Amino acid sequence: MLVILVGVVFVALGLVGVRYAAAIVAAQHQEGMAPLEDGHDELDDTDRVRVTKWTGAAFVALGVVIIAYSVGFV
């Protein structure tokens, strides 16, 4: 039961990351948490949003695998 809950939490966090990726990146800019701002290797906002969305998708996939494992599909 606990493993199912962990999987659901991963899925929920991943979906939030995919849905609100642009807002997350904007909040990071407001807080001054933009990495690599030395002018040479600076990341564009579109790249940061893309990475945030893919990270969220990885969380969703991990959560689905955890849920499938706990139910007995894997």
- Indicate the domain borders of the chain: 2-32+44-71
The pLDDT of residue 18 is 96
Report the pLDDT averaged over residues 54-58: 97
Judge whether residue 8 has pLDDT over 70: yes
Q: Are 8 and 71 within 8 A, CB to CB?
A: no
| Interacting residues of 22 by C-beta distance below 8 A, sequence separation 6+ | 49
- Indicate the average pLDDT of the chain: 90
Q: Are 54 and 14 within 8 A, CB to CB?
A: no
Judge whether residue 40 has pLDDT over 70: no
The pLDDT of residue 74 is 72
Report the pLDDT averaged over residues 30-47: 75
Q: What is the pLDDT of residues 61-72, one digit of tens each?
A: 999 999 999 999
Place of tokens 């940061």: 48
